[in-house]
Chains A and B, each alone.
Chain A
Amino acid sequence: MNRSIVFIISALVLFTACEEKVDVQLGDTEPKVVVEGYWCSETDSSYVRLSRSIDYFNTSTPPAITDATVEISDGQNSILLTHDVDGYYRPQAGYKADTGKVYTLKVISDGETFTSSSKLNPMFEVDPVLQFEYKPASGFIEEGYAVTYYSIDNRPGEIYTRFNFGQNDTIFDQEILFTSADLIKGQNRPFELPFYRAQSGDSVMLIFRSLDVSVARYFEALNALNSGAPGPFQTPPANPPTNISGGAVGYFMATDITRIGQIAP
């Protein structure tokens, strides 16, 4: 939510500002190992992707790492992932991670070892029926249906949710991160999608992913960098705090997913 504020205030102050593309010399950088670990409760969706960073203005595709050893453990069993294509390492077909477990990742590439762990927290309950309410235009928000979902969170402890929404097969860039600590446990909670109006016939979709705190910190920092990066309303930019040890960048997230979809009236 803070980032939405940043967005709106940036828009506000920069209303007198003009923007233009400029040439900037940044120099060369040492490539870093990039880990994208996505371990989820949906079948055949889990993977670990390995690649290397490139210079900022380099227009080529960052190279994939295809010869690493990648191992995932849930504390009792460990599985070795196999390289599929383009740096993607996957478990055997039909695999689905379990909520409540802590997963540990170990990557060995070019003699270097990178490790991480992440807890797969369950998602809260979301009512599959969305509420549509027609509203007139206001500011830069066009007229259309305001969309509201209802949910109840009964989970103990502090669990983060990464919430995305979109329409007609397009997920919007805007992402909302929130923590269960901000919500009243057990209360049925309505939430109107910010800055959004659906038109009749639009297919609205909502995706909720649970995150543990260490991964949430990564996305919090990443979202801050991505909203007009780095705008004047942010603290000095820095690489997001990774939960991967050993000098790599990226994250390893274990996540439970809930998807809701409905067509606007």
Chain B
Amino acid sequence: MKNRIRIALLVFSCLVLQQVQAQNVTLSGHIRDAKNGEELIGANIFVQELKSGTVTNVYGFYSLSLPKGKYKVEYSYLGYNSIDTTLDIQSNRTFDIELSEAQRVLEETVITGERQDKNVSENRMSVVSIDVKTVRKIPILLGEVDVIKALQLLPGVQSAGDGNTLTIVRGGNVDHNLVLLDEAVVYNPSHVVGFFSVFNGDAIKDFDLYKGGIPSIYGGRLASVLDIRMKDGNSKNFSASGGIGILSSRLTLEGPLSKKKDLGSFMISGRRSYFDLFFPLSEQTKDAIANFGDLNAKINFKLSDKDRIYISAYSGRDRLGFAGLAGFGWGNTTTTVRWNHIFNTKWFSNTSLIYSRYNYNIDFNISKNLNFSRINYIDDLSLKQDYTYYHSPKSTVKFGFWSTFHTFLPGKIEPITTESLIQGGELPKKRALSQAYYGSHEYKFSSRFQVEYGVRLSVFSNIGGREFVYANGQKNYFQDGSIRPSDIIDTNFYQNGEFYNTTMGVEPRLNLTYQLNSESSIKGSYNRMYQYLHLIQNIAASTGQEFWTPSTPYIKPQLADQVAVGYFRNFMKNTLEFSAEVYYKYMQNTVELIDNADINFNEAVESQLVAGQGRAYGLELFLRKSKGRTTGWIAYTIAKSDRKADNINRNEWYPFRFDRRHYATVVLSHDLNKRVNFSGSFIFATGDAYTAPVGQYQLNGVTVPLYSDRNALRIPAYHRMDVSMTLYGKKKEGKRWLKESSWVFSIYNVYGRKNYYTLNFRTDENTGENAAYKTYLFRMVPSVTYNFKF
């Protein structure tokens, strides 16, 4: 392993050294929002004379090395007025700049841009990015702004169905997505019953979703990375904003730490749902409880021009219960402490200490002898160090490490009453250390050809605890038509702190862009990803009963290789953006459940799993109009995703549960005038694969279903249209209090399509005949929300 690291470092040093040029000076600084001082991520710096530039990093920092001279530099950002300025740069120079937000305009004019041809020119493919402002216009269930629901309208990113906010990316599982909130892993991004994701739109500054060509800084999941950054807080003025809806409300407070000095800023944002207030109205739901609350907070201190500390935290809690008989809850808690340090105009460093916890509990209290409370959790403590070296406008090097200590509590049961027959107990904790060392180099060979290549070395070790030993060395076996767990014949014990079962993987990453002309380019990417943590779940996604488990000697790390090629073309002076991407992904050691798997409080969970293979491929088409009064996009994906595992469906390939041949979305937004916006979205998806009874037999007078092969049948297609109208109040800049307000009226599932939530089979009590029943969650759901900003 040491040799591999040495080789990687050597390669990087060579790349850096070959570029050394003595005469260059560096222009660096931060780009911020003029109104609230928020640092702008991905803002553009373009040097006219050099026809070259760069973008700000996630901390709003940029650095450009260029020969001494006088330059015309353009600073720009989507939705903001750009600034052209002439700078005389004779020595290293820091130049901070503030951009002001463009007014909402109606004419067919350019309201500025990121680089307007970013779609074509940027060396990034398979990246889904929409800005939070666009997200706000997309009609969403119950009027909440939701990043994840919005992402699911983009190509290659699909919803795992009604009733959750989980995502399927390019044929991967729901646990193949790394979700980061200010670098902390969020293990369950769903709020109760899937109405909302855990990400409060008011507290989010920016996000990116990588579904291919994933940079080497990220790893640990097979399919995608969703990197979400919280707002830093208004560093100029105190402000309050929020929304009052019929089912939930939210409030955000932000402001500078000091009115006089530029010390930093804070932001605190909370949400609380109260839709269970309506439950007493229905006989069916009168005893139920379902609610959530969450809180985002962030504070940043400017220690000096070169040092800044950010502390951010999130905590959320969901509760679902019924008449005190049963209840369950879950919550994510994250804390990130980051230290940005600028060594000099070329070297940028970030050090992060990250804590993340996901816990969930089930309370079950149906009689005085039959009751218990069960808790599970996963705890992560991470140290992350990133360095960026801006060598020249053509060349940037990034490297660092990310080390995480995981603690898993697979289950702890406590009786609620002393008369309970359920004995308390705790499954032994599992501990593991995952480490990653990574580096990448972005290099522009010419104005046409760019490359970013990198490598990530991931290492995973189990620490202490115990592992079962199974009969014949096999955790399960095949007999009489079904896979069954093997008998446990012994247990291996490991001391606290004792490392065992260390596995590692080398993960190469590559992105290439060749610009054919100013309007079109071809891009290609390859990535290999290892995944060491696995989500064990039942049929439905996000019920609070799924749990994460580490790789062990019996659960091999999952592995995916993906290649993607795309054609990018802009039309009508960059008014229309088009892209077509094809991808092929091959997965190994996917986690598949055996037949009749029992995953509930089962310490021998590995015996309920078989390692599978997966293959997913598809074509994604995307056409977007992002300028003018009418904006929006059309996305279409044709794809296939299959799985294969020993002794399931006779070792033949079978459809993945979320294998969807067609997935199409349309999003439209139209500004009628300065104060009225209409928007709508439509979604169509091929129905999911499922396993159904195809035959029946009788045992002791009871009908027993005889099942098909796994996932052999299809439920009908899913489709839905949502609409919304936003009425903006008049701008009241002069007044001290209310500055902005709007009313949002929305209707989810306008034509009341009864999309399948589940498909059940049972004997009809009235006719005595077998019948199929579908359940559906939401028909038409209207909502109204009032938003304000003080």
Please give the residue numbers on chain A whose beta carbons come within 8 Å of chain B beta carbons, in ascending order.
1-2, 4-5, 8-9, 11-24, 26-27, 29, 31-32, 34, 36, 38, 51-59, 61-62, 138-141, 146, 148, 182-184, 189-195, 217, 220-222, 224-225, 228-247, 249-251
Cβ-based interface call for B628 (8 A): no
Residues A8 and B697 in contact, CB atoms below 8 Å apart: no
Residues B699 and A5 in contact, CB atoms below 8 Å apart: no
With A and B bound together, what is the CA distance between A69 and B754 in angstroms?
Answer: 52
Per-residue interface assignment for chain B, residues 596 to 637, with 1 indicating a CB less than 8 Å from any chain A CB and 0 otherwise: 111110000000100000000000000000000000000000
Residues B543 and A13 in contact, CB atoms below 8 Å apart: yes
Which residues of B lie under 8 Å from residue A54 when comparing CB positions? 695-697
Known contacts A146-B367, A195-B366, A243-B480; 8 further A-B pairs (Cβ under 8 A) = A53-B697, A183-B421, A225-B705, A233-B540, A236-B711, A239-B707, A244-B480, A247-B481
Cβ-based interface call for B774 (8 A): yes
Residues A238 and B539 in contact, CB atoms below 8 Å apart: no
Cβ-based interface call for B16 (8 A): no
Name the residue of chain A whose CB is nearest to the CB of B324. Answer: A139
Residues A17 and B777 in contact, CB atoms below 8 Å apart: yes
Residues B595 and A239 in contact, CB atoms below 8 Å apart: yes
> Which 9 pairs between the two chains have the least Cβ-Cβ distance?
A139-B323, A232-B540, A238-B595, A221-B596, A53-B697, A24-B772, A29-B695, A17-B775, A192-B367
Name the residue of chain B whose CB is nearest to the CB of A3. Answer: B600
With A and B bound together, what is the CA distance between A5 and B325 in angstroms?
Answer: 10
Which residues of A lie under 8 Å from residue B370 when comparing CB positions? 1, 4, 191-192, 194
Residues A23 and B324 in contact, CB atoms below 8 Å apart: no
**CB contact under 8 A between A16 and B538, given known A24-B759, A32-B695, A54-B695:** no
Cβ-based interface call for B419 (8 A): yes
Which residues of A lie under 8 Å from residue B707 when comparing CB positions? 237-239
Interface residues on B, range: 35 or more
Which residues of A lie under 8 Å from residue B777 when comparing CB positions? 16-17
With A and B bound together, what is the CA distance between A238 and B698 in angstroms?
Answer: 16
Name the residue of chain B whose CB is nearest to the CB of A55. Answer: B695
Name the residue of chain B whose CB is nearest to the CB of A240. Answer: B596
Which residues of B lie under 8 Å from residue A217 when comparing CB positions? 484, 596
CB proximity of B4 to chain A, nearest CB, Å: 40
Residues B775 and A5 in contact, CB atoms below 8 Å apart: no
Name the residue of chain B whose CB is nearest to the CB of A248. Answer: B480
With A and B bound together, what is the CA distance between A46 and B324 in angstroms?
Answer: 43
Which residues of A lie under 8 Å from residue B782 when comparing CB positions? none
**CB contact under 8 A between A26 and B320, given known A1-B370, A20-B774:** no
Which residues of A lie under 8 Å from residue B368 when comparing CB positions? 146, 192
Residues B596 and A189 in contact, CB atoms below 8 Å apart: no
CB proximity of A3 to chain B, nearest CB, Å: 10
Cβ-based interface call for B758 (8 A): yes
Picked from A21, A232, A250, the residue with its CB within 8 Å of the CB of B773 is: A21
**CB contact under 8 A between A182 and B600, given known A4-B366, A53-B695:** no
Picked from A189, A190, A233, A239, the residue with its CB within 8 Å of the CB of B539 is: A233
CB proximity of B392 to chain A, nearest CB, Å: 54
Cβ-based interface call for B326 (8 A): yes
Which residues of B lie under 8 Å from residue A232 when comparing CB positions? 538-540, 543, 757-758
With A and B bound together, what is the CA distance between A81 and B458 in angstroms?
Answer: 64
**CB contact under 8 A between A239 and B706, given known A20-B774, A146-B367, A232-B538:** yes
Residues B761 and A239 in contact, CB atoms below 8 Å apart: no
Residues B324 and A138 in contact, CB atoms below 8 Å apart: yes
Residues A51 and B698 in contact, CB atoms below 8 Å apart: yes
CB proximity of A242 to chain B, nearest CB, Å: 6
A–B pairs, 7, beta carbons within 8 Å: A1-B370, A5-B364, A54-B697, A56-B695, A57-B770, A229-B761, A241-B595
Residues B694 and A56 in contact, CB atoms below 8 Å apart: yes
Cβ-based interface call for B50 (8 A): no
Among the stretches B266-274, B284-292, B506-514, the one at the interface with A is B284-292
With A and B bound together, what is the CA distance between A143 and B700 in angstroms?
Answer: 33
Cβ-based interface call for B92 (8 A): no
Which residues of B lie under 8 Å from residue A190 when comparing CB positions? 369, 419, 421
With A and B bound together, what is the CA distance between A217 and B596 in angstroms?
Answer: 9
With A and B bound together, what is the CA distance between A224 and B704 in angstroms?
Answer: 12
**CB contact under 8 A between A139 and B595, given known A27-B694, A193-B367, A232-B543:** no
Picked from A9, A13, A221, the residue with its CB within 8 Å of the CB of B193 is: A13
Residues A241 and B596 in contact, CB atoms below 8 Å apart: yes
Which residues of A lie under 8 Å from residue B754 when comparing CB positions? 18, 20
**Of B368, B758, B762, B764, which is in contact with the most chain A CB atoms at under 10 Å from its CB?**
B758
Which residues of B lie under 8 Å from residue A61 when comparing CB positions? 698
Which residues of B lie under 8 Å from residue A59 when comparing CB positions? 769
Residues B596 and A8 in contact, CB atoms below 8 Å apart: no
Which residues of A lie under 8 Å from residue B324 when comparing CB positions? 138-139
Per-residue interface assignment for chain B, residues 743 to 777, with 1 indicating a CB less than 8 Å from any chain A CB and 0 otherwise: 00000000000100111111010000111111111
Residues A55 and B757 in contact, CB atoms below 8 Å apart: no
Which residues of B lie under 8 Å from residue A183 when comparing CB positions? 421
Cβ-based interface call for B328 (8 A): yes
CB proximity of B176 to chain A, nearest CB, Å: 18
**CB contact under 8 A between A250 and B697, given known A229-B761, A235-B538, A240-B596:** yes
Name the residue of chain B whose CB is nearest to the CB of A16. Answer: B777
Cβ-based interface call for B501 (8 A): no
Per-residue interface assignment for chain B, residues 286 to 315, with 1 indicating a CB less than 8 Å from any chain A CB and 0 otherwise: 011000000000000000000000000000
**CB contact under 8 A between A12 and B706, given known A193-B367, A229-B760, A242-B481:** no
Cβ-based interface call for B505 (8 A): no
CB proximity of B154 to chain A, nearest CB, Å: 26
Residues A22 and B772 in contact, CB atoms below 8 Å apart: yes
